[in-house]
Amino acid sequence: MVSNQTASTMEIETVPSEAKLLPQKPKFEPLKPHEMSDGEIQFRKVNVPPHRYTPLKKAWMDIYTPIFEQMKIDVRMNLKARRVELKTRTDTPDISNLQKCADFVHAFMLGFDVIDAIALLRLDELYVESFEIKDVKTLRGDHLSRAIGRLSGKGGKTKFAIENASKTRIVIADTKIHILGSFANIKIARDSLCSLILGSPAGKVYSKLRAVTARLAERF
């Protein structure tokens, strides 16, 4: 009796359920860059400081050509407002190109050469960091002048050594310091410059730089 019951329970027919018909996935065409912002044209404006007006005139074509031809961004110099104005076009391949171009122009205004600043258009992981000497240590008068002298070194030797070792570019504009490079490299250059401001001799900074760059070379 028990065996009959078990047999009846085992003989359960599995009725195949009808395959549910799913609706087809919608196919959307990829949005064009100018459609991402609801067709609105985006702008960026970069002010031109008085001391960079003449260098901008001389290097205008070097700045204009990569922005207009390669990044597909419209650029003009507003002489009345004394600022460089950038805006997107309908054929701009990527909306982020506008910010890259604004960073490129801003880097030039800070004092970087066009050859160095143009790397901001080519590479993604590059930044510009700025700080003042007084952010590190409050110095006045001759003490401040000596600190600026220590940063540059004789004929710019110290500055070039830090640039080459950390693969960055440094601009020392009075008491302001601007560093262009990747995040890790900016940190190395900034630490070296801060040590010099605080009074470390150049020889000590060089030896520390050598140790840090050797460690970086082993890592990559």
Asked which of 76, 107, 123 is the last residue of a domain, the reply is 123
User: Where a domain ends, among 102, 123, 144?
Assistant: 123
- Our count of domains for the chain comes to 2
Task: Confirm whether 166 is domain-assigned.
Answer: yes
Indicate if 100 and 166 belong to the same structural domain.
Answer: no
pTM above 0.75, yes or no: yes
Q: State the pLDDT at residue 201.
A: 86
Q: Is residue 134 part of a domain?
A: yes
Cα–Cα distance for residue pair 9/5, rounded to 1 Å: 6
Residue 10 included in any domain = no
Q: Which CATH number is 85's domain given?
A: 3.30.1370.10
User: Residues 117-136: what's their mean pLDDT?
Assistant: 91
| Same domain? 40 vs 102 | yes
Q: Among 60, 92, 123, identify where a domain stops.
A: 123
Distance of CA 146 to CAs 141, 153, 156, 158, 206, Å?
9, 10, 14, 14, 18
In a domain, 172, yes or no: yes
pLDDT tens digits, 65-119: 999 998 889 999 999 999 999 998 888 888 888 999 999 999 999 999 999 999 9
> Token pair of 180, please?
């262009």
The Cα–Cα gap between 177 and 133 comes to 8
The 3-state DSSP class for residue 141 equals coil
Identify the pLDDT of residue 137. Answer: 87
Distance CA 176, CA 132 (A): 4
Q: What number of CA atoms fall less than 13 Å from residue 12's CA on the CB side?
A: 5
* Residue 22 pLDDT exceeds 60: yes
Residue-range definition of the domain harbouring residue 198: 128-218
